[in-house]
Structure 1
Amino acid sequence: MKVLFLDIDGVLNSRRTLIAHNGLPHGFTPDDMGMFDHAAIGLVRDLCKHSGAVVVLSSAWRTHHLVEEVAVGLGLPVIDRTPSLAGNRGQEIAAWLAEHSAVMVYAIVDDNSDMLESQRAHFVQTSEEEGLSYRDYVALKRILSGEDAGYSHKALFWEEV
């Protein structure tokens, strides 16, 4: 199984979309849907379609929306969400992976850098200002195909800035 751990804020919407649409989405109503970056959603759909990856929500949205609601709202193959733990997002992803041994390949896309060092090669950090870029998409595609390691725009939390 291939899995894409997906954050939403800073990936499928951004400061750019906030300014352009005068707000951020909080759900999947028609008005909310207009505030998402539909090019970014399309890139994630393409990643899933061509790699065979399914999506696991690692976003804070997982605590306010049902998995099925996000799957239908965004048109993505969302199958689950990471647990909410008293730690960082990397620890939540590690806990989910520990419970799902069928995962052969995974990628993480997030604008926040709170991942574990062991997840570095699987991680692509987006820009909060711009959201998911084509460069991010290419890096995720390579990770999901087993070709290459990820990259980040900023230092990960264990590195000195």
Structure 2
Amino acid sequence: MSKVLFLDIDGVLNSNFWKDSHQTEISDGALIDEEKIKLLASLVKETNSEIILHSGWRFWFDTELKPLCTEANKLVELLEKENLYISGVTPDLTTEEIRKTKKFSLVKADEILLWINLHNSVTDWVVLDDLDLHSDQIKQHQVKTDQTIGLTLENVKQAVKILSDNK
């Protein structure tokens, strides 16, 4: 493993649910946009990178990355259509307070950096997320998607550049 793509789901592989409340829950995985999956596939194939899930969706998988609910199962099915697979998930550093307030962005950067430190074979990495992850180190590697649009071709080009530049 040398190139890693840290993948968030909401605001990256979907966008339709970002209505006024911003906290609308996804009911059945139907809001995963298959066009966004195809864009993701082009990125993964061009860079030969592995997908590490750093989304809250990672809690919908067991320790062997088997889906535990309909949403996760639908995500896996859509990824597999494009020959994509989740290789791992970031560790959980959330606290009860963070879970209550849903301020996951406060620990996402630390979770990603911890994962990288535990996997010393990583040479290049990129983060796809619609949130500000409050870290200068992460910012250099992040492609920040627009939550109202999700992943775009321009985002993919930016991610390819990040994964191709040896820093």
C-alpha distance 48-68 of structure 1, shift in aligned 2 (>3 A): farther
Deviation at 1:35, TM superposition (A): 2.4
**CA deviation string 1:44-73 (max 9, x = no partner):** 111111211000000000012243445732
TM-score under structure 1 length normalisation? 0.76
Asked if the contact 1:56–1:82 (Cα under 8 Å) also holds between the matched residues in 2, the reply is: yes
The answer to whether the 8 A contact 1:110-1:126 is kept is yes
Query: After the TM superposition, which of the residue ranges 68-77 and 118-127 deviates more from structure 2?
Result: 68-77
Q: Which of 61, 66, 77 is 1:65 aligned to?
A: 61
Question: Which amino acid in structure 1 is aligned with residue 50 of structure 2?
Answer: V
Does 2:92 correspond to 1:84?
yes
> 2:89 is aligned with what amino acid?
R
Describe the shift of the 1:117–1:57 C-alpha distance in structure 2 as closer, same or farther (beyond 3 A): same
Count of residue correspondences: 139
Match of 2:46 in 1: 50
Coordinate RMSD, CA, aligned: 2.3
Q: Distance in 2 between matches of 1:45 and 1:131?
A: 15
Q: Equivalent residue of 2:4, what SS?
A: strand
Residue 84 of structure 1: how far off its partner (Å): 0.6
Residue ranges of structure 1 left out of the alignment (5+ in a row): 149-161
Contact between 2:127 and 2:142, CA under 8 Å: does it hold in 1?
yes
Match among 105, 116, 120 for residue 139 of structure 2: 120
User: Any residues of structure 2 matched to 1:29-44 within 5 Å, and which?
Assistant: 32=29, 34-44=30-40
Whose RCO is larger (CA < 8 A, sep 6+)?
Answer: 2
Contact 1:54–1:79 (Cα < 8 Å) also in 2:
yes
Partner residue, 2:10 = 9
- Give the % identical residues: 31
Structure 2 counterpart SS, 1:35:
coil
